[in-house]
Structure 1
Amino acid sequence: MQDRNQWPTNRLLSTAARLVEHAWNEDLASLGVTHAGVMALDVLRSEGSMTQAQLAHQVRVQAQTMGKTLHRLEVHGHITRSKNEQDRRSHVVSISQAGERVLEDAAGLERGLLGAGDESDEQFRRRLAEIISSLGGARWRKEVQEDPDVGSADTSASVEGVHASVASSSITGAPGSAL
């Protein structure tokens, strides 16, 4: 078997991403959430309340996939759903106080999993964000233009939001991936 130091970068990245995802999901199970749930909660905390379709677009998954994730979050009290006053056919999803707490706990688990975060870690995170922006930008803009139900959601990947989406984007091949 070839020495890992000689593997191509894409193999290193995808293998590391899968291993991080598996370890992360095992840790999150202790909090009663999944990686998909943490991603949804993170978007709700940073962007505010929104419809299921808008949230699915922000997380880069199908609305039906997001529905399953939201059901689990609602059962555990991490989100609330209320009728959308502008469109009675949809609901507005909001993060609850329990959801805020679980995000803080998940952040602690992430720090323990990936290390304390020195300067090289920040450089690595910035580089991952650049890769996501570069490779995902054109693909995600095209989806925005093709999806009239979503509205005017922002399609850029920010460095701050990358901690929740880097693993998903590189592991699952989002958008449209099953969570």
Structure 2
Amino acid sequence: MSTAARMFEYNWNRKLQALGLTHAGVMALDVISREGGLTQAQVAHKVGVQAQTMGKTLTRLEAHGHITRERNAVDRRSYVMVLTDKGRRALAEAAEIEHDLAGTGVLDHEELRQALEQVIRDLSETDTMPLDVVRAEDPGLVSEIAPASSTPRD
């Protein structure tokens, strides 16, 4: 399973690079597309990383035209992330890449996803890794891995 995961990750990242994306970037785009209007800290919390780490990812996404940062209407001191049309297309292409790579012939894409989600659920019950939610939603990407800590303050 470890070898398959490494090979999948390597090939997925190689193909994402052609879109100007990384795995972290896809996770951020997925959160922004589903929830929209989130600050950097909120996106980081949803993805399960530090805000500073997410800042680098968001800067790359903005440089490639996948997102824009707009003033937060609620708190003018901060910015919210907005998905662009280019970002929406890139996210759809990333989902297609993931689907194509997961097409093993042994299990269909949905069966594979469900089997892996069950492994994650089983391990999260016995491991100390702080997972609140691991769920897959369209467009087929792992959409949320959030730490058990409280909601971040902006």
Normalising by the residue count of structure 2, what TM-score does the alignment of the two structures yield? Answer: 0.78
Percent of pairs with identical residues: 50
| Counterpart residue number, 1:149 | none
Give matches, 1:21-36, under 5 Å. Answer: 21-36=9-24
Task: Say which structure is richer in strand.
Answer: 2
Tell me, yes or no, if structure 1 residue 140 matches structure 2 residue 140: no
Question: 1-side partners of 2:115 and 2:139: how far apart?
Answer: 10
Tell me, yes or no, if structure 1 residue 131 matches structure 2 residue 108: no
| Counterpart residue number, 1:122 | 110
Question: Any idea what the Cα deviations from partners look like across 1:77-136, whole Å, max 9, x if unmatched?
Answer: 100111223233321111111100111222222222222888644233113223334544
| Counterpart residue number, 2:136 | 159
Deviation of the 1:44 alpha carbon: 1.1
Deviation of the 1:66 alpha carbon: 0.6
Deviation of the 1:36 alpha carbon: 1.0
| Code of the aligned partner of 1:34 | T
**How many equivalent residue pairs?**
145
Question: 1-side partners of 2:53 and 2:138: how far apart?
Answer: 20
The 8 Å contact of residues 50 and 92 in structure 1, kept in 2 or not, is answered as yes
Deviation of the 1:162 alpha carbon: 9.5
Structure 1 residues 89 and 131, CA gap change in structure 2 (3 angstroms): farther
The 8 Å contact of residues 92 and 139 in structure 2, kept in 1 or not, is answered as no
Question: 2-side partners of 1:133 and 1:57: how far apart?
Answer: 20
Over the aligned positions, Cα root-mean-square deviation in angstroms equals: 3.0
Question: 2-side partners of 1:111 and 1:67: how far apart?
Answer: 28
Question: 2-side partners of 1:126 and 1:162: how far apart?
Answer: 15
Task: Say which structure is richer in helix.
Answer: 1
Tell me, yes or no, if structure 1 residue 56 matches structure 2 residue 59: no
- For structure 1, the residue ranges without an aligned partner over 5 or more in a row are 1-11, 142-154
The 8 Å contact of residues 125 and 162 in structure 1, kept in 2 or not, is answered as no
| Counterpart residue number, 2:7 | 19
Deviation of the 1:39 alpha carbon: 1.1
Give matches, 1:51-130, under 5 Å. Answer: 51-115=39-103, 120-130=108-118
Question: 2-side partners of 1:37 and 1:159: how far apart?
Answer: 17
- For structure 2, the residue ranges without an aligned partner over 5 or more in a row are 148-154
Question: Any idea what the Cα deviations from partners look like across 1:33-77, whole Å, max 9, x if unmatched?
Answer: 111111111111122221111111111111111100000000111
